Structures are given as C-alpha cells and as structure tokens.
Amino acid sequence: MNSDRAYWIDRALQVVQPVFWNLANGRLRKTMPIECLPGREKDRALYSHLEALGRCLAGIGPWIGQAFDRAPAQVELRSWVMDGIAQAIDPEGPDRMNFEQGAQPLVDAAFLAQGLLRCFDEVWLKLDRKVQSRVLQALIQTRGMQPGINNWILFSAMIEAFLFKAGEQWDPVRILYALRQHEQWYKGDGAYGDGPDFHWDYYNGYVIQPMSFDILNVVKDEVHEGERLHALCLSHMRRYAEVQERMIASDGSFPPIGRSITYRCGAFQPLAQLALANQLPDSLPPGQVRAALTAVISRTLEAPGTFNEEGWLQLGLAGHQPSLAEQYISTGSLYLASVVFLPLGLDGDHAFWTEPRQPWTSRRIWNGEDMAPDKALQR
C-alpha cells in the first residue's frame, strides 16, 4: 500500500474509531466527553453526539462507501457505522440522538445526510428497512427548524437532496432557494459570503462549497437551471481550491483566521473533495495536492494534546487550545476534521495515491523556484 495512503488510513481511524465503536456498542453518551466553554456543558450535551456522528460520516463516507477496498479495517468500520446509525435513531436506546430540540440538529442532520449520500450504495441501501424509516423520519422532522440567513440554508437543502435520492417526497424550493441565494452572495474569485457579508473564515470549506457541490451532483437534472448552477459551482470551487493550496505553508500550517478554527484540517474539504471527484484544476497535480494535504493532516492531528488519553479529540487547532472555541463548539463539533479524508474513497491505484509527491506552491516559491503569478478568476 502507498505509504501516504496507509498514513491517511491510520489517522482517519484514529479520529473516527472512538465515535463509531462506542456508538455501535451503545456507549457514546457514556464515554464521549463534552468539552466546551465553561458554563455551556448542559446546552452542548443536547447536540454533541449527533455532531460527532454526522461529521465523522461526512468524512469517512467515501471510503466505507466503496466496494473495492475490503481491508479488514474498512469492513469493520462500515459495520460499526451501520450499527451506530441504528443506535442513534433507536427511540429506546441509550444513544438515541436529538433531532427535535433546538436549532442545532438541523446542522448535523444535514452532515448525516451528506455522509449517507457519500456511502449511499454500501451503507444506506444495506441498512435495515426499519432503520432507514427511522432515519428518514428524523430528517423530515428538521423541516420545522428555521435556518439563519447564511450558510444554514444549505443544511435544509442538503436534507432535501438526500430525501430525493432516497426516493422520498422532497422540496425543490428549499434547494433552489439555497443555491440561488448563494449565487447572489458570491463575492468573486471563488469565494462566497456567509450570508450577505463576506467573512474571513473557512466556511466556504466547511459547508458552502462542499454542500453546494454535493447537492447539485444529486439534483442538477431535477431543478431549474441545474446544469448551469453546477458548472458555476464547480468553476468557483476549483478556484477556491487553488487559493486553499496556496494558503498551506511549507510546514503544513495555514492562517488561523475566522471562527470554527478548531475544525482543524476540515477547512480543506474543497481541495479533498475535488481530488475525490477527479476535478482538481490543471494547476494542481494530484501528487502535489496529496503532499500538501498530508502536511496539513500531520500539522493539525499530531500536535501534542490533540487527543485526550482516551483518544477523543480536544478543543484546539495545534494541540489543546480550549480558548479557541466559540460558544457553539464542543467535542462532537471537532469531528468535522474528518472531511479532509475524502480521497480515501479513491482506489489505491488512483493517480492521487500513485503520483510521486511534489512540493506544494508555498514550498516551491519560498525555496526560490521561479513560477508564474497567481491570477484571479474572472466573473
């Protein structure tokens, strides 16, 4: 096995195994800590477990969703995921999750839906029918939650896209509203506002571009101007990925700007997702992207204090830095870091894994290589 791929699998398992093993065995509430800002423990305990499930599945879905990789670790993890989903929606189970109370469940029901789309054939279609019915009921319940006028409207749209894929009644209006609104919020050069205003943060990477891309991959033939919106989304995302790659410093660090920085390497989801989709821009060879993302994974997940003694992620970006967390962040939130592992859904023989490592842009320029200047994406 390619050494980088083996490293990615080891790191991915280090992140998600505690969540899925404990959930599959009905022990997630009993064992997962709820680390958050002081005084927020009771509130975040309502949501943290669904956060961990949805975000881990969104990241690891493409790997366990592939039939080609029958490595024991993949097969075992898929089994835990399926058992864990059953536990999460068992109304009498110890790990029954909250899909009804508050507004936060809309967010992580959407990540759960996104994760299920990413492993649809190998996980969703093979779940017990009773489990499927309960998941669908839980997702439909979130329709009563009103999203904010920002990236949250994509959470509603993601759930509707999954319902369509699953053969359920769906609402195209929620999807078109989210997509058209983000078209209005486009700020140029591959970046969207999080609502009407631009924010210097990584929400283009955490939510906006990846969810738009996945939604349109599902419904582009079903909604008005779907093909145009899909082409526009891809064009913007490819430019955004170019910018992201240039933000990775020679040591794998990146600018600690904006909110939710404790999602660590999850900020680079667009770059990982385009690699998975074979849609990287020509300026970014797969071997270069793999090297850059490997550096980010190492920088953010190997820092001392990233995990506690029991193996759970702790608040921070480069180790344990609890003051970096906002009031809405707790242990479960941190598992959005797993979305950096999307390329594990590519076969080990794919060019992403087999091309020789190449230095990424920051390394090349700061080592003195003569390169062409960066250029903005024209509208």
The confidence score (pLDDT) of residue 378 equals 86
Q: Give me the mean pLDDT over the 356-378 stretch.
A: 96
Q: Burial of 128 by CB count in 10 Å (0-12 exposed, 13-18 middle, 19+ buried)? A: exposed
Q: Is residue 21 part of a domain?
A: yes
Q: Is the dihedral of CA 46, 256, 313, 83 positive or negative?
A: positive
Q: Is residue 372 part of a domain?
A: no
Show the tokens assigned to 313: 């992620």
Q: Is residue 379 part of a domain?
A: no
The confidence score (pLDDT) of residue 357 equals 96
- Which neighbouring-strand residues pair with 191? 188
d(C-alpha 212, C-alpha 154), whole Å: 7
Q: Is residue 209 part of a domain?
A: yes
Q: Is residue 373 part of a domain?
A: no
How far does CA 165 lie from the centroid of its chain?
19
Q: Is residue 360 part of a domain?
A: yes
Which amino acid does the sequence have at 69? Answer: D
At residue 1 the predicted structure's pLDDT band, cuts being 50, 70 and 90, is low
d(C-alpha 165, C-alpha 146), whole Å: 23
Range of the domain at 245: 3-366
Q: Provide the number of structural domains found in the chain.
A: 1
Beta strands, E only, the chain: 186-188, 191-192
CATH at residue 154? 1.50.10
Q: Give me the mean pLDDT over the 267-273 stretch.
A: 98
Show the tokens assigned to 340: 């950096």
List, for residues 207-234, the tens digit of each pLDDT value.
999 999 999 999 999 999 999 999 999 9
Q: Is residue 378 part of a domain?
A: no
Residue 276 pLDDT > 80? yes
Q: Is residue 337 part of a domain?
A: yes
The confidence score (pLDDT) of residue 68 equals 76
Cβ partners under 8 Å of residue 181, min gap 6: 153
List, for residues 4-58, the tens digit of each pLDDT value.
999 999 999 999 999 999 999 999 999 999 999 999 999 999 999 999 999 999 9
The confidence score (pLDDT) of residue 26 equals 98
Percent of the chain with pLDDT over 90: 98
